[in-house]
Amino acid sequence: MRIFHVATEADWHRGRREGSYTTSTLGRTLAEEGFIHASRSDQWEGVLTRFYSDVAEPLVLLEIDTDLLDVPVTEEPPAPGVSETFPHVHGAIPVTAVVDVRPLR
């Protein structure tokens, strides 16, 4: 299965240098959040619009092959009271699991 994650270009470059990606969402790390926020193909554009519209730095879309992950991925609501579920990656994403990187905006 393929899932997607909107990232700053700087966070992605840091992950590439370190060998794994550990930013959960804008301004929050995996250690702080407990998982990495991701989206299905029909969700990432809404995430980009809702949470990244005021971000001035370059953004990229990471396409992640879940078969290449060695950590669990669960479908969960992103916050209490939200009914829509999103994929959550419960651990670092090895850069080898990122099969495509597309610039956004």
Domain ranges of the chain: 2-104
Are the CB atoms for 83 and 9 separated by under 8 Å? Answer: no
What CATH number does the domain located at 2-104 have? 3.20.170.20
Q: What is residue 79's predicted lDDT score, i.e. its pLDDT?
A: 81
Identity of residue 101 = V
| 48 vs 50: CA distance, rounded Å | 6
Q: Which of 84, 85, 94, 89 is nearest to 73 (CA)?
A: 89
Give the Cα-Cα-Cα angle 18, 19, 20 (nearest 5 degrees). Answer: 95
Q: Record the pTM.
A: 0.94
Using one digit for the tens of pLDDT, what is the confidence trace for 14-57?
Answer: 999 999 999 999 999 999 999 999 999 999 999 999 999 999 99
Q: What is residue 78's predicted lDDT score, i.e. its pLDDT?
A: 81
* Cα-based distances in Å from 58 to 1, 8, 35: 26, 6, 23
pLDDT-derived band at 76, boundaries 50, 70, 90: very high
